[in-house]
Structure 1
Amino acid sequence: MNTATLAKPAGLAAADPAGDVALFRKITWRLLPLLCVCYVFNYLDRTNVGYAQLQMREELGFGDAVFGLGASIFFLGYALFEVPSNLMLAKIGVRATLLRIMGLWGLASAAMIFVSTPTQFYALRFLIGVLEAGFAPGVLFYFTLWYPSRRRAQVTALFFMAYGAAPIVAGPLAGLVMTFLNGAWSLQGWQWLFLLEGIPSALLGILAFVMLSDGPAQARWLSAPERQRVARLLEEDQAANGIRATHGFGAAMRDRRVWMLGLISFLAILGIYALSFWQPTLLKMMGLSVLQVGFYAVVPAVTGIAASIVVGRHSDRTGERRWHFAVAALVGALGLSLTTLFMHNPLAAVLCLALSSAGVSSAFTILWSVPGSILADRGAAAGIAMISTIGSSAGLVAPVMVGAIKAATGGFTYSLAILSAALVLAALLFVLAFPMRMAARETRCAR
């Protein structure tokens, strides 16, 4: 899968900015639409339980503790199998990996319609976590096979835009399905939600296997000169960033930057996982109906998408990562802090959550543009998976923490304050761990 093994005719490296723009636009249009749709369904299958619980509570008698543990146990399975899944991807390719991951997680998610006890709920949530492991970091590794580092923040932003756009679909879809299909064909609304979001995921896995290529060398839809051009640009990018192609699994695990990025990711996405699960409950506590909750959730999603695109594009254009991340994380913290002041005003609270979403989504985009600039080949696969594993372990903590604090205090104020503090710490660590020389080096690469 190493694109650097392609033959490179003499003189191919001559600068051709217009040609390169057209080439990478062609690649992006081939890869991104399908991968973004897959990511939307990844979000839906991961977080639909947050909406389903609004009906499952009454029918099954599950309380906050059951849902909090169920949300967290998903991430236990996810974290345990993240690295093995990504290492397997490096061996068998993205097509076979997406077929395996999406096909199995889609079927497991659809099987949630049969849940009737907490034990069944926990078992299926754990299984879905195991089966989903490796999807997002696998795609991020896939991007390193196609895009030089100076182009990666923007394409990463476009990919994460799908994750940010998913709530635009998730909220209204959940509200409509659970309201208008409740009781249809002897199934409750929450059962229809799992079924209608699980089966398409399995079908998308088959489509990805048919439509995607494992790398530029296998892309028959590129001409031979185009494949060679991509190979040369990637090789030059690795050389400019001081990356050795022999950078392997062990080296990635010994790289302190991998562990620091993992810790920063953990702190930055605590709020993402907490709010993706508990935001529907938070809004419902303000007196909104299930349908209103779904549509109110659109506002933070839209702002997150817009901000991540703008910030990602500006970061790529300037070659600067450090302060783009720090400022975005601080904006996210400010939004969460302001939300605590408007817990009885749904409109104001949603606007504050939108501000937070803009900051956190942008920070997340910048964060994931960094690993591909410091790791290569199997080292990138292992390093990205390790960073994602550490970050995803926030999902073990966040839902349980928020649920426990809510049970103890009756609200979300203290939880939001803790999540805000975590974002401030993430900004500080990123500034200290990745000094200005990283920004300067990437700027040179961008020229």
Structure 2
Amino acid sequence: MQKDLGMSDPQWSAGISRFYVGYSISQIPANVIIAKESPRLLLPLCMLAWSIVTICMPAVTAPWAFIFCRFLIGLVEGPFVPAVSLMTSSWYTKHESPLRMSIWHAGNTISQALSGLLAAGILSNMEGVGNIRAWKWFLLLEGMASIIVAVVSFWFIPNFPDSTGSYFITEEESAMAQHRQSVSAGGLSEDDSGGHWDGFWKAMKDPFSHLFAGIHFSLIIAQSYKDFFPSIVKTLGFSNNITYLIQAPPPAIAFLHGYHIIGPILATLVGAVVMITTLNVGARYFAMSSPCGGSVQISWETTVVPRPRTKRAALVAYANCVSSVSHWFTPYFFLTNQEPYYQTGGGATIAGCGLTTIFVLMTKCYCSKKNKGLKARQLKTLLVSLKDGDMLVSISKRPDRTSGPNTSSSMR
């Protein structure tokens, strides 16, 4: 594709990064709107939009058109990830949500494995079919597949528990869903009174928002290799077909250990060190497998900041938006003139791993501090209640020498 469109490395990297410019712009306003409106309509519409632009991409003939299409796809895809986490945390309790987010994240990683297998089939067997280049068929088929999913989604995605209506669940099930969420949040209801942006300003005042944004930002730098994974695998020196096929196992490995943050990110760090220091094929392939183990930190965010919904929506979108900024510059770390070591990209990955670990530990310490404060307040409230109870008991036992039995009974 890069060769057909006559794109230089900087132009190609610009196309990769412009996706994340559009992606960053739309996330916060879209997720705040979705929190107050109908995700049942907005999410499938977003998917339809990015699918249509993807199908149009084979028609581009110049670098600027490729860059513009990438920007548009990012703009309409931006709301998706924050909205998925918002919806998951709105229907499932804090104990159920992490598993559901892990399943969703697993779908992401498995799709990377399937993309390698699809590439092996399409790019090897469809070159010139209908006088269309194989890479164009790849985009057309992926775009058409996602259109089918988007259309079906209009019937299978609910709104929120308090606004879904009887088309998806009964009134009793809606009440139960709301009750479950209230119990999970410590008795707090999903109160979203106020305007669309009230929750955003609440999120900006909460230190958790900025700590999680730091985790996101560092994590994306640590995983910046993903946009260039096929190019990195190609440096192993295998044929095109073998290169496509061996892209599949590393993301599948990620499915097995994507439940925590620090463990996988340290494996990524080790993989980056190996990648930039040796040309041994076995060692480099192992190194390429190690970084693929992402992490699911979004369910952590929605658990520690459960209410109100607009604040939760703004926090997730803000953290994801900040992380997208790293995509503006990380594509320039993996240029062909640095093959096969990619020292700049490997160095950035190592730095991102270190920063992620630091931010995770800082957030964990802040969580512990908040929990200790919460327990202290609960203990104080309990002691005051017990003290008041003792006073009432002593009053009820005190004999009344001036009034009859009716007055004493009334006081008790």
In structure 1, how many angstroms separate the alpha carbons of the residues matched to 2:37 and 2:319? Answer: 21
Of 42, 60, 83, the match for 1:138: 83
Tell me which residue corresponds to 1:373.
304
1:341–1:411 CA distance, 2 compared to 1 (3 A): closer
Tell me which residue corresponds to 2:130.
185
Map of 1:150-165 to 2, 5 A cutoff?
150-165=95-110
**Residue aligned with 2:257, SS:** helix
CA contact (8 A) 1:241 1:374 kept: no
Instruction: Return 183-192 or 294-303, whichever deviates more.
Output: 294-303
CA contact (8 A) 1:152 1:369 kept: no
1:396–1:179 CA distance, 2 compared to 1 (3 A): same
Please tell me the residue identity of whatever aligns with 1:269: I
**Residue aligned with 2:3, SS:** helix
C-alpha distance after superposition, 1:269-306 (max 9, x if no partner)? 2233x322211111212212222222111121111111
1:304–1:219 CA distance, 2 compared to 1 (3 A): farther
**Bigger Rg, structure 1 or 2:** 2
CA contact (8 A) 1:267 1:391 kept: yes
The total of aligned residue pairs comes to 367
C-alpha distance after superposition, 1:248-285 (max 9, x if no partner)? 2210122221122112111112233x322211111212
Q: Does 1:259 align with 2:210?
A: yes
CA contact (8 A) 1:238 1:244 kept: no
Tell me which residue corresponds to 2:405.
none
Q: Does 1:287 align with 2:222?
A: no
1:243–1:340 CA distance, 2 compared to 1 (3 A): farther
Please tell me the residue identity of whatever aligns with 2:54: S
1:88 deviation in Å? 2.1
CA contact (8 A) 1:375 1:383 kept: no
**Residue aligned with 1:434, SS:** helix
Tell me which residue corresponds to 2:327.
395
In structure 2, how many angstroms separate the alpha carbons of the residues matched to 1:194 and 1:232? Answer: 44
Please tell me the residue identity of whatever aligns with 1:282: I
CA contact (8 A) 1:108 1:124 kept: yes
C-alpha distance after superposition, 1:314-372 (max 9, x if no partner)? xxxxxxxxxx4333322221222223334341x432222222223xx2xx213543234
1:244–1:409 CA distance, 2 compared to 1 (3 A): same
Q: Does 1:69 align with 2:4?
A: no
Q: TM-score, normalised by structure 2?
A: 0.82
Tell me which residue corresponds to 2:227.
277
Matched-pair identity in %: 19
Tell me which residue corresponds to 1:305.
255
User: Counting helix residues as a fraction of each chain, which structure ranks higher?
Assistant: 1
1:245 deviation in Å? 5.8
Of 341, 349, 355, the match for 2:284: 349
Tell me which residue corresponds to 2:404.
none
1:436–1:264 CA distance, 2 compared to 1 (3 A): closer
1:74–1:230 CA distance, 2 compared to 1 (3 A): same
Q: Unaligned stretches of 5+ in structure 2?
A: 376-412
CA contact (8 A) 1:258 1:371 kept: no
CA contact (8 A) 2:165 2:171 kept: no
1:410 deviation in Å? 6.5
**Residue aligned with 2:2, SS:** helix
In structure 2, how many angstroms separate the alpha carbons of the residues matched to 1:299 and 1:251? Answer: 43
Q: Does 1:422 align with 2:367?
A: no
Tell me which residue corresponds to 2:63.
118
C-alpha distance after superposition, 1:380-414 (max 9, x if no partner)? 111111111011222212112323xx536774133
Tell me which residue corresponds to 1:3.
none
CA contact (8 A) 2:31 2:317 kept: yes
Taking only aligned residues, the RMSD between alpha carbons, in angstroms, comes to 2.6
CA contact (8 A) 2:274 2:283 kept: no
Q: Does 1:234 align with 2:184?
A: no
1:431 deviation in Å? 0.4
